[in-house]
Structures are given as structure tokens and as C-alpha cells.
Amino acid sequence: MTQIPSSQDPRTPVVAAATQAQTWDILVIGGGASGLGTAVESATRGYRTLLLEANDYAKGTSSRSTKLVHGGVRYLAQGNISLVREALHERGLLRRNAPHLVRDLGFLVAAYTWWSAPFYGIGLKMYDLLAGKLNLKPSGYIDQGEALRHIPTLKKAGLKGGILYFDGQFDDARMAVSLLRTLENHGGVALNHAPVTALLREGGKVVGARFRDLESGQEHEVRARAVVNATGVFVDDIRRMENPDIKPMLSPSQGVHVVVDRKFLPGDAAIMVPRTDDGRVLFAVPWHDHVVIGTTDTPVPDTSLEPRALPEEVDFILRTAAQYMDPAPTRADVRSVYAGLRPLVKSENTDGAGSTAALSRDHIIRISDGGLLTLTGGKWTTYRRMGEDAVNRAAKLGGLPERLTLTPTLKLHGATDEAMPDHWKVYGTDAERVRALPGADVKLHPELPYTEAEVRWAARKEQARTVEDVLSRRLRALLLNARASAEAAPRVAALLAEELGRDSAWQAAQVTEYRQLADGYVLH
């Protein structure tokens, strides 16, 4: 393979920084929402921080959400007031700290029976109250005409009106990239494609980890005063490195979403179905000029990096959408289908049997006999609070000086209130620099908004190393239109090869690999 001189590869200084001879204050394993949140929390307090990610940032659950920053209306119905209050508080902070990625969105609960509007209206007033000063806008009743003005494709037959309430919406994988850049801005080090292969132990205590650099094949050992296992649905794999006989903490559940064209949900609001046939909440949400519809809650026996939607899950989503949307999307209209696994925590005295809908959505911290701190559960909205709680405990474990959190008011990398076109807004203050690169006006595919300049930026500034890193997470092409993204893969591979010094064999292998992956996001 022809390589550019390693001195020019943006990864070279990162590997050197990650493997320098020193003891880190906090080592974080896992680069999803909880791991990145913990690392940013740690670095901004001045602790020497290293994060290791086995694949790519937000590769798993953290790039496959419903794209909402929300308090969780469903948890309100379950009576989990404390979780809702905390999430609504964090929603307000996130909107303030990452305005380039989070925006307010109206959600309509359509009323087709006389009792549903007052019933849901009371609950959503409580939602407003729990948000306190950080509430977005008050919820309220709207009549049929107003409901159709917000969502022209709402089924008209029997529509009496509805309740319009407000929540936040965001881009999950771009939030992960923003946190990565924030971490780097505060002196932290993060390395992707670097799986932890073993924990280092001395006198029964966990004192670091061994990891493999997947690009060079080399193994490295790193030492730390505290080690945080924030690997989402894979936390039990890391826990077993310390104790092979440990009982699993998690009972994973799968959530599926389908993505369709914006024409199915024009207007300025999302649809929220408060109770589907299986007792879940379903959303249809405008996102990057498409519509995300989901989700499901299916217990799964095994964790996988690429979970696949079951045919019955897709049918359920489309069938439920058809009760509210006219015209309704069919299987032929689905541009992409994606599945994510929720790290639901078993209570310590259950065997995890039965419905996952009742399992805890709270985050949990557990500390092993050897001092490994495991953080799991939770959701994107509360990522900052999860990180704060984890670092409070990790600092005590590692005997680090006590320092107060700065993250409640910390602006994330790129934060700006400046109005920009949707496609460029995710870059925030970096947008002009991205657009100054070659190819800013050359689209990767006629059905996608993305440009060649963005691939170069992803490689140079955002640690993108593969075609998948670019098309799935730095750009959201895989989720917006899986077929179009597969057609764009050769051009992306060529641009990456130019940036990273790769040969034609690498390009061909990358295109084959990516197209196999993208095929799993297409409904056949």
C-alpha cells in the first residue's frame, strides 16, 4: 500500500499522544454519547484524559436515535417524574450550548376522539411545568384547521384538532463529532479504530488497558488512575475482561426507524403518537429534508455492531404511520431503515425476562471490586449529566483533586446562533472553513446534499478513516438514502485515498465493504 509520509497523516500525532509514556488521570473506553460526555467532562476539569474507541465515534446506538433532545413524554406517563425533570433540564442546557445542532420543533398529538385532547393536554402542561425556566414554548390546544396548517398530510377523517407541544431535535452523530472536537480543544486525546483488548491489573486493581491500533496492527498499553467503561450495549464485554464469570448488567432492546422523503410530512411540525398498538410512543420527525419514523422496542438476545430491522418491525412502523398520514409511505418509499440497540439495565434481582419497555432508562454507575467504573443506560439528552456523575466518581476512585464541573455552561465546538442552510449548519463556526476547501460546490451524488469539500474536512479535522466513517456519521448519507450513498462510495474512497495516502486496492476494498453495509439499510 502506498502511504503518504506518516508525518502528514492526521492520525500520526494522535497515536503518538495516546501512547506517550505517562499515567492518564482518566481513561475512557467507548466513544458514544456516554463516553464522549465523560471525556469532555474530565478534560474540561483539567484531568489528563484519554478516550479509546474500538470502531468509530457514535458507530453504535449513538448514531441511530430518533434524533430528539427530549424529556421523554412516555416516562411521564410511566410516572418517572425525576427522569423527565432531569432530561428537560439537560434539554435546555444542550439547546443553549450547541445551538448549531439542536433546534426547537413543534410536535402534534392529533386528536381523533373527544377525550384525547384534554387527556394529553393535561399531561403536556405538566411537561411544560417540569421544564421550568428552561421550557421552550408552552403547549396548547389547536383546532382542526390549525393542525392541518402545521401538518398538511395529517389524516382529515375524524380529526378534531390536537395538542401542539415543543421539544428539541438534533443530529446525533454530528453531536458526537462536536464533542470530539471539544475534547481536543481542552487538551484531551481520543483515538478511534483502537479496540481495548485487555485490562491492566496490579494487586487486583484495574490500572489501565491494552489496545490495538487497527491501522498499524500494533498493541499498546496505557495506564490511568481511573478507568471508565462507557461502551454502551457492550459494557458486559469489558466487564468480563476483569471477571469472566460476571453476571450481565444489560437486557438489550432494539429500536428501528425508517426514513422517507419530506413530502410525507411537509409543514413545520412532527407527529407524536402517544400510544401505539403495542403501548409505545411513535414519532414522525422532519430531519435533514427527510422524515424519520420510529421506533420499536424488541428484546434481542445478542448485541451486534450492525443490528438489522426485522420485517415485522418495519411493517409495524408503516402500519402505524398509515393511521395518521395521508398519503402514507409504503415499503417502496423507504430510503433507509436503521436499527439501534438500547443498553437497558436489568435490576440487580431480576433475570431480565419479559418486556424491555419497563426496564430502567436511567443511567447507572457500577464500580467493580477492582475499581473499574461502568457507566451505562441513559440517553443522548442526558449525556452531559451522565459524564458529570461518572467523573465525580472516577475522580474519587483515582484520588484526583476535586474540581467543579464546567459543562453546564460550556459551549460545544462550533456553537453559533447564526442562521445557515440546514446542510451547513451542523458545522457551526467551522462552516466557512469547510466551504473554503476544494470541491465545496461539487456534490457527491445528485440525491444527496453533501459535497467533496466535506469529505476532505472529515479526513483532516474529524478523524474519519473509512468510507463508512464519512458516509454514515460525518455525513448522514447512509441514513438519508442508503442506495444513493452506495453510489457515492467510489468518489468518497478516491477523495479519502488522496487525503490519507491510500492506494487503489484500499479504495476498491473500501467500496466493496461499504456497499455490503449499505445493502443492509435498503428494504428488499
Give yes or no for a contact between 389 and 37, defined as CB atoms under 8 angstroms apart: no
Check residue 75 and give its pLDDT.
81
Beta-bridge mates of residue 163 = 109, 141
Report helix, strand or coil for 242: helix
Give yes or no for a contact between 375 and 391, defined as CB atoms under 8 angstroms apart: no
Domain of 493? 422-519
CA distance 455 to 419: 23
User: Which of these three, 383, 409, 435, is where a domain ends?
Assistant: 409
DSSP-assigned letter for residue 451: B
Q: Which of 431, 507, 520 is nearest to 100 (CA)?
A: 431
Report pTM: 0.96
CATH of the domain at 96: 3.30.9.10
Same domain, 286 and 327: yes
Check residue 393 and give its pLDDT.
98
CATH of the domain at 384: 3.50.50.60
Percent of the chain scoring above 90 in pLDDT: 88
Confidence bin at 2 (pLDDT 50/70/90):
very low
Check residue 94 and give its pLDDT.
97
Q: Which residue has the cell 488521570?
A: 25
CA distance 109 to 130: 19
Same domain, 215 and 163: no
Question: Does 510 fall in a domain?
Answer: yes
CATH of the domain at 432: 1.10.8.870
How confident is the prediction for the chain on average, in pLDDT?
Answer: 94
Check residue 413 and give its pLDDT.
98
Same domain, 335 and 275: yes
Grid cell digits, residue 505: 486496492
Give yes or no for a contact between 314 and 336, defined as CB atoms under 8 angstroms apart: no
Instruction: Give the residue-averaged pLDDT of 289-295.
Output: 97
Residue 172 reports pLDDT greater than 70:
yes
Question: Does 81 fall in a domain?
Answer: no
Confidence bin at 58 (pLDDT 50/70/90):
very high
CA distance 114 to 117: 7
Check residue 7 and give its pLDDT.
59
Residue of 71 and 432 predicted with greater confidence: 432
**How far is the first Cα of the chain from the last one, in angstroms, to the nearest whole number?**
36
Give yes or no for a contact between 176 and 63, defined as CB atoms under 8 angstroms apart: yes
Continuous H helices in 348-451: 383-397, 422-425, 431-435
CA distances from 7 to 12, 15, 306, 437 (A): 6, 12, 34, 21
Check residue 277 and give its pLDDT.
82
Same domain, 389 and 502: no
User: Which of these three, 342, 372, 399, is where a domain ends?
Assistant: 342
Question: Does 68 fall in a domain?
Answer: no
Same domain, 35 and 101: no
Instruction: Give the residue-averaged pLDDT of 78-104.
Output: 93
Same domain, 274 and 303: yes
Same domain, 244 and 305: no
Residues 342-383 have pLDDT tens digits of: 998 887 644 444 445 545 568 999 999 999 999 999 999 999
CA distance 26 to 398: 8
Phi-psi region of 58 (alpha: psi -120 to 50; beta: other; left: phi over 0): left
Check residue 199 and give its pLDDT.
98
Check residue 73 and give its pLDDT.
83
CA distance 394 to 373: 7
Question: Does 131 fall in a domain?
Answer: yes
Confidence bin at 307 (pLDDT 50/70/90):
very high
Continuous H helices in 200-310: 235-242
Percent of the chain scoring above 70 in pLDDT: 96
Question: Does 199 fall in a domain?
Answer: yes
Check residue 352 and give its pLDDT.
40
> In a 10 Å sphere around its CB, with 0-12 CB exposed, 13-18 middle and 19+ buried, how is residue 418 labelled?
exposed
Confidence bin at 489 (pLDDT 50/70/90):
very high
Residue 306 reports pLDDT greater than 90:
yes
Check residue 358 and give its pLDDT.
47
Which residues fall within 8 angstroms of residue 270, CB to CB, at 6 or more apart? Answer: 105, 106, 107, 108, 169, 283, 284, 285, 286
Check residue 355 and give its pLDDT.
47
Question: Does 76 fall in a domain?
Answer: no
Bridging pattern class, strands 23-29 and 219-229: parallel
Give yes or no for a contact between 251 and 352, defined as CB atoms under 8 angstroms apart: yes
Question: Does 69 fall in a domain?
Answer: no
Same domain, 226 and 369: yes
Instruction: Give the residue-averaged pLDDT of 397-405.
Output: 98
Q: Which of 488, 501, 430 is nearest to 459 (CA)?
A: 501
φ, ψ of residue 132 in degrees (nearest 5): 60, -135
Instruction: Give the residue-averaged pLDDT of 177-183.
Output: 98
User: Which of these three, 361, 388, 409, is where a domain ends?
Assistant: 409
Residue 230 reports pLDDT greater than 70:
yes
Q: Which residue has the cell 499522544?
A: 17
Confidence bin at 3 (pLDDT 50/70/90):
very low
Residue 187 reports pLDDT greater than 70:
yes
Check residue 477 and give its pLDDT.
98
Check residue 360 and give its pLDDT.
54
Same domain, 103 and 124: yes
Q: Which residue has the cell 443490528?
A: 307
CA distance 9 to 373: 34
Same domain, 321 and 187: no
Check residue 348 and give its pLDDT.
62
Same domain, 462 and 488: yes
Instruction: Say how many domains are in the chain.
Output: 3
Question: Does 434 fall in a domain?
Answer: yes
Same domain, 151 and 255: yes
